[in-house]
Structure 1
Amino acid sequence: MTTQVTEKKTQAAHSYVGMWVTADGFIRHELRADGRYDEARGKRHSAYRGRYWLEGDHIEYQDDTGFTADGDFRDGVLYHAGMVLYREG
């Protein structure tokens, strides 16, 4: 349990927590402080959900079905699976 608590505190304090969107707003990644993410696509809310973890500026995703993906943050931009996402707001 200590590891989970430490991981949650680390995620909550991380600067990447928040909403990330493509330039056209079609894809929206919400990176939550509890280590979970929720991805919307167009009008489909919660198209994908799962957990994520960070290794420096690298992000790993595992959705609730077991599918995995990854990405990298560079200069305030998230590059993920051929997509480019920007922090909302």
Structure 2
Amino acid sequence: MSVESHPYVGMWVTADGYVRHELLPDGRYDEARGDRESAYRGRYEISGDRIQYWDDTGFTADGVFVDGVLHHAGMILHRREDGGR
């Protein structure tokens, strides 16, 4: 399945809304933290329920989707259906 049509593409947020993690359809991500938009940017790849990130600064991370919830870097993010920030 291509990234463009992948069901995990979209906005993911922590319960308090502080971290907003957008998986873009072009294989890039844009993460906001608090009032800092685009705090982290980079590319990602999804394989099954696992996601791998490569930040533009060289940092790497991973995560896993479990029952519709993204577990990433000690955070739990839920799908934000409206896609907004």
Q: TM-score when scaled to structure 2?
A: 0.93
Using the aligned pairs only, state the percent identity: 69
Matched, 1:37 2:29: yes
Distance in 1 (alpha carbons) for counterparts of 2:3 and 2:65: 15
Instruction: Name the residue aligned to 1:61.
Output: 53
Deviation at 1:31, TM superposition (A): 0.1
- Which structure has the bigger radius of gyration? 1
Trace 1:47-58 onto structure 2 (pairs within 5 A): 47-58=39-50
Structure 1 runs of 4+ aligned residues shifted over 2 Å read none
Structure number with the bigger relative contact order (C-alpha 8 A, sep ≥ 6) is 2
Q: Which amino acid aligns with 1:32?
A: L
The answer for unaligned runs of 5 or more in structure 1 is: 1-8
1:15 to 7, 11, 30: 7
Q: Which amino acid aligns with 1:85?
A: L
- What's the RMSD between the two structures over aligned residues? 0.9
Higher helix share: 1
DSSP 3-state at the match of 1:12:
helix
Q: Which amino acid aligns with 1:29?
A: H
Deviation at 1:58, TM superposition (A): 0.1
Distance in 1 (alpha carbons) for counterparts of 2:80 and 2:37: 17
